[in-house]
Amino acid sequence: MLKIFFGIFIILHGLVHMLYFGQSGRYFEMQPGMLWPDGAWAFSRLLGQAGTRNLASILLVLATLAFVVGGVGLFAKQAWWRPIVIGAAVFSSVLYLLFWNGMFQALDNQGAIGILINLAILAAVLIFNWPK
């Protein structure tokens, strides 16, 4: 039963990345005045704001796909689900760190909660070897 909840959680966590995709593509605003990923410390100067948003959008879709595939693999009792989910969590965390604006304000709007969830997923899978 817990495997089912964990698999659903992983898939839903992956789908939340699509909210950030919508934000980065300017399809909608998750919050009034939210500008993520504008001002990303790693890319904004190099790619400009439009290029940064496009890159973020592409990478967010990849993160979503990885989490969804990992969750489906868990449901299908495939051995490969674990490395997929680990890779997705690491990839997602690095993505949000690279698209962070470098300021310690409104971190929740820049993926900080997602990074904490990724760390919890990594702890569950790598440290506690859960679910078995």
pLDDT of residue 33: 86
Q: At what angle do helices 112-122 and 81-98 cross, to 10 degrees?
A: 150
Helices (DSSP H) in 1-132: which residue ranges? 2-24, 44-75, 81-98, 112-122
User: pTM of the full predicted structure?
Assistant: 0.94
Q: Yes or no: say if 7 and 19 are a contact pair by the CB < 8 Å rule.
A: no
Give the domain range for residue 34.
2-127
In a domain, 108, yes or no: yes
The set of residues, in sequence order, having a beta carbon less than 8 Å from that of 22 and lying 6+ positions away, is: 28, 30
Q: How many domains does the chain have?
A: 1
The answer to whether residue 132 is domain-embedded is no
The answer, yes or no, to whether residue 121 has pLDDT greater than 90, is yes
Is residue 47 included in any domain, yes or no?
A: yes
Range 63-68 average pLDDT: 98
For the chain, what is the mean pLDDT? Answer: 95
Identify whether 65 is part of a domain.
yes
pLDDT above 70 as % of the chain:
100
